[in-house]
Structure 1
Amino acid sequence: MTTYVTFAEFCTRHPGGLGDADRERAEAVLSDASGLVADNYPAEIDPADIPGVVKRLTLRVAMRVFTNPLAMTGETIGDYQWQRSPADGLGLRLSAMERRELRRAAQGGSGTRVVFVTPG
């Protein structure tokens, strides 16, 4: 399995960077994220020419899983506490919007939409 994002690219985008101690875990997450994106990209991906949307979504998923591996969400303020179950978080899944981005890109679309608005 080809990973679409290198450890160096991931480190550059991670707040504060990453050290060698995090390398094994980061590379595992990058491999998992690349596999997920490949499974949802409806076209063959040439490792020598990885589409930008594939790189961006792989980074987004990898960052999401690396920084919050249990997909926990919650908030505590004084006596107030709210928490959502890990099953509710995205984790190592793509949202409907992310899947649409991949489909549009595979069909030759940029994923960008233009809306013309006339004043008045």
Structure 2
Amino acid sequence: MEKFPRNFYARNDVGIIIDRTWKKHVVEIKRFEDRIISLSLIVGKDNINIISVYAPQVRVEVHLKGKFWKDLKGLVQSIPLAGNIFIGGDLNGHVGKKVGQFAGAYNGLGFGELNNRG
């Protein structure tokens, strides 16, 4: 696994907070550096996978952005089709192929000011 530069991952840790009554249902926790974490729970007959992410921003090197998306894709693809997946966090506007494609995900608040990369 490629390591991110120390100054890259020392500032962006993600996590998932659950109520202690759900702790006994946790079957697996996976972490990819400090930008992706997943938590798998068995609730009744359902497998629930919660993923928290913090996508790299403009100042991050391109190959590290690629690694983030590759890690996230691999994680999602590793979850059985019968599993439920919930992804939350800060995707830094990386939703869909075009900025306006999922406008509803922003609750109509708009995108604010955009840089030349969208």
| Largest Rg, 1 or 2 | 1
Report the TM-score, using the length of structure 2 for normalisation.
0.24
Structure having greater relative contact order (Cα 8 Å, sep ≥ 6) = 1
Larger relative helix fraction = 1
